[in-house]
């Protein structure tokens, strides 16, 4: 199964360099994966690297839902599945492999656990409760059949999930299949403006920031090749 990680970005050059490194470190076959990024701040210029492609335009999409659909339309024609990757979070090396395994069981991959940084460098496990859109993946056929995301902000993800449920789209949990959680929800790591911190008008607030041309530095903030994941399920700190 060929899978594309799809990312929408805006004014997060440092985090975007971290995210591209996540793709480069994936243990899923390179020939069967890609990362497509859509920037609508015109901040970088179009560029590409080993398995990733960044489309940068100076045209702000009216809603995040429409931007997600536009980003999904940029993936290669032979892609079978789409994984949601957010530009302010991180993905461990088995993220795509775990998502594909779940998509072999059901059309929608929905992890039950998310990770969060703890003091000292360890990662704590928390229950997702069906939320945390940035860890989802789904088969492309389902996305197309449902017409993608609605033209709305900060809620387009759960509205899409509601339509998936109404259509009786089954989901599988990669954690239940034996994979460790792979999605690091980096609240507090995103230069103080993680979208979840910005409230119901977060997308519009980001638009008020000025764009400056910048160069991507593709690297992790630290080595996540063998992360230390704390045992047990911990109280959520976000």
Longest CA–CA span in the chain (Å) reads 45
Report yes or no: 110 and 54 within 8 Å, Cβ to Cβ: no
Compute the CA torsion angle 100, 104, 106, 110 (nearest 10 deg): -20
Report yes or no: 78 and 3 within 8 Å, Cβ to Cβ: no
Q: pLDDT tens, 201-238?
A: 555 555 555 556 778 999 999 999 999 999 999 987 66
Q: Tell me the CATH class for 3-223.
A: alpha beta
Q: What is residue 235's predicted lDDT score, i.e. its pLDDT?
A: 80
Q: What is the CA radius of gyration of the chain?
A: 17
| SS3 state at 52 | strand
Q: What is residue 204's predicted lDDT score, i.e. its pLDDT?
A: 55
pTM: 0.90
Q: What is residue 190's predicted lDDT score, i.e. its pLDDT?
A: 44
What number is the average pLDDT over the span 152-160?
Answer: 93
Please report, for the chain, the start and end positions of each structural domain, with discontinuous segments joined by +: 3-223
């Amino acid at each position: 199964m060929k899978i594309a990680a799809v990312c929408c970005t805006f004014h997060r050059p440092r985090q975007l360099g971290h995210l591209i490194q996540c793709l480069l470190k994936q243990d899923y076959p390179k020939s069967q994966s890609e990362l497509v990024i859509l920037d609508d701040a015109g901040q970088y210029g179009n560029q590409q690297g080993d398995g990733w492609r960044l489309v940068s335009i100076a045209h702000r999409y009216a809603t995040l839902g429409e931007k997600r659909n536009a980003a999904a339309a940029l993936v290669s024609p032979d892609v079978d599945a789409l994984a949601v990757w957010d530009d302010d979070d991180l993905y461990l090396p088995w993220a795509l492999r775990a998502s594909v395994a779940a998509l072999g069981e059901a059309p929608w991959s929905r992890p039950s656990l998310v990770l969060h940084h703890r003091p000292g460098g360890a990662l704590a496990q928390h229950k997702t409760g069906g939320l945390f859109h940035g860890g989802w993946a789904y088969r492309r056929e389902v996305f197309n059949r449902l017409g993608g995301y609605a033209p709305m902000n900060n809620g387009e993800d759960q509205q899409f999930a509601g339509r998936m449920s109404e259509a009786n789209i089954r989901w599988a949990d990669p954690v239940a299949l034996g994979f460790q959680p792979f999605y690091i929800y980096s609240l507090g790591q995103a230069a103080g403006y993680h979208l979840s911190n910005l409230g119901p008008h977060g997308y519009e607030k980001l638009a008020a920031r000025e764009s400056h041309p910048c160069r991507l530095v593709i690297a992790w903030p630290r080595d996540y090749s063998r992360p230390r994941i704390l045992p047990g399920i911990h109280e959520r700190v976000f």
